[in-house]
Structure 1
Amino acid sequence: MSLVNNLISPLDIRVSIADRFKRIRLDQNVSQEQLAERSGVSLGSLRRFESKGEISLKSLVRLAISLNRAQDFDLLFQIEEEIDLFKPESKLRQRASRGTK
């Protein structure tokens, strides 16, 4: 399911991610209590994530690692690199440019 094409609000995106996460947890036959203990994320945080989609990035990463799904983050914010054999390599940006006042 494409989040961009089907969902419009941040809440929709968060809830969709939480729903998919819960399905993965259940497919692996892991209870919320087991996952909370294994990941070091509080049971309350895990329950809030699965019901409302609210969680810190740090906790989400811990949960993903505990379910062997850390590789799923590789697709997040991918940078598309164009290959142009005739264009000289440019330096990677370190900062955004200042806006004009």
Structure 2
Amino acid sequence: MIALISPSKAQRLLAENIREHRLQRNLTQEELSSRSGVPLSTLRKFEQQGVISLESFLKLLMVLGMLDNVVKATKMETIPFSSIDEVIALNNAPKRKRGRRT
């Protein structure tokens, strides 16, 4: 799949979205920092530059009630089957634990 935005653009958009959610819930940066356990300086840097660790980002999402949605967004989609043979083949196939070497 081809990405339509760069990772740096995605970081900035995520920071903007978190800031909008924070403001919509009428929380100051200090309040969100306190509730999430993310240092205020980290939150400020995130909102300004989009830079944050995954753990801190997940803490912010949890406080803002968005964590479940993000986890669901990364879930593997189920494959629609066109025959019973495909279902049987999938159930008999070993589950991959590693990627293939190229």
- TM-score band, normalised by shorter chain: 0.7 to 0.9
- 1:92 pairs with 2:89: no
Q: Which residue of 46, 51, 56 corresponds with 1:49?
A: 46
Deviation string 1:32-78 (CA, Å, 9 cap, x unpaired) is 00111111100011001111110000000111111111112134433
* Structure 1 outlier segments of 4+, above 6 Å: none
The root-mean-square deviation of aligned C-alpha atoms, in Å, is: 1.6
TM-score if structure 1 supplies the norm length? 0.82
Query: How many Å apart are 1:80 and its aligned residue?
Result: 2.5
Amino acid at match of 2:44: R
- Residue number among 19, 22, 25 corresponding to 2:22 in the alignment: 25
Q: How many residues align?
A: 94
Structure 2 portions without partners, runs of 5+:
none
Q: TM-score normalized by structure 2?
A: 0.81
Residue in structure 2 matched with residue 68 of structure 1 by the alignment? 65
| Bigger mean CA offset, 73-82 vs 43-52 | 73-82
Structure with bigger helix share is 2
- Give percent identity, aligned residues only: 32
Distance between the aligned counterparts of 1:49 and 1:92, measured in 2? 37
* 5+ residue gaps, structure 1: none
Inter-partner Cα distance in structure 2 for 1:14 and 1:92:
32
Greater gyration radius:
2
Aligned mates of 2:79, 2:65 — CA distance in 1: 31
